[in-house]
Amino acid sequence: MQASRARLFKEYKEVQREKAIDSDIQLVCDDSNIFKWTALIKGPSETPFEGGVFQLAFSVPEQYPLQPPQVRFLTKIFHPNVHFKTGEICLDILKNAWSPAWTLQSVCRAIIALMAHPEADSPLNCDSGNLLRSGDLRGYQSMARMYTRLAAMPKKG
């Protein structure tokens, strides 16, 4: 408990310092609870998520960093490895491949990389996965872009 708190505090300070450098990631700690964080990440360019801003919710376990944080998308996203309803993310480093050398910041970076490189073979969103697996890249991209416009961009007017 104490160790996780100390480490999260270090990450908090690091985030404040790096704010200007990595403008694609905005990590914010809950005012009253250092175990709850949210992040705003920019959809990577040259993907259907470009131009969108996606919100992630972090729930950090007391055993952190021995255990990975739980992360899910709060913003709706059409992606093979993200559950369409719950926002749950299928990413190895958040499960078996977790290492305590990861930080919340680097997890965000990994999630951005996952957005750019979907793994269609381990889908949480079968519709999205099937589009990619059947080779319908155009179908996948237009669906993903539509949801990015609907959910991840500021509404016009």
Partner 1 sequence: MEQKEEEDDEEEESSSVGSLNNELNPCPICLGPVNQEAYLDRCFHKFCYNCIAHWAKYVAARNSQPQFTLRCPYCKSDNISIVYECEGDSFQRHYINKELEKSTFFTKAHKFRLRCYYCEPGAIYNKFNVQRFWKLHRYLQPNKWLQFWLKREIQALTQEEDVDVVVHHILGSIESFTRQKERGPSKRTIEENREDFKALISDAARPFLIGRTKRFVDEIELFLVSCLNVEAYDEVYAQCVEMVTSGAVHEDEEERLQEVNRQLPYLHFFDEDTDTE
- Interface residues with partner 1 (CB under 8 A) are 3, 6-7, 10-11, 14, 63, 65-66, 99-101, 103
| Nearest to partner 1 of 12, 84 (CB atom) | 12
Smallest distance from partner 1 to CB 3, Å: 7
Spatial distance between the Cα atoms of 140 and 126, rounded to a whole number of angstroms: 12
* Cα within 13 Å of Cα(120), Cβ side: 12
Whether 29 is catalytic is no
CB-CB contact of 39 with 104 (8 Å): yes
| Nearest to partner 1 of 10, 117 (CB atom) | 10
| Nearest to partner 1 of 19, 95 (CB atom) | 95
Smallest distance from partner 1 to CB 28, Å: 19
Smallest distance from partner 1 to CB 91, Å: 16
Catalytic residue (choose from 29, 90, 108, 126): 90
| Nearest to partner 1 of 10, 137 (CB atom) | 10
Spatial distance between the Cα atoms of 88 and 1, rounded to a whole number of angstroms: 25
CB-CB contact of 80 with 119 (8 Å): yes
Smallest distance from partner 1 to CB 101, Å: 4
**Cα–Cα distances in angstroms (integers) from residue 68 to residues 136, 145, 156, in the given order:** 34, 30, 37
Task: Residue count of the chain, please give it.
Answer: 157
* Cα within 13 Å of Cα(143), Cβ side: 18
Could you give the residue numbers annotated as active site?
A: 90
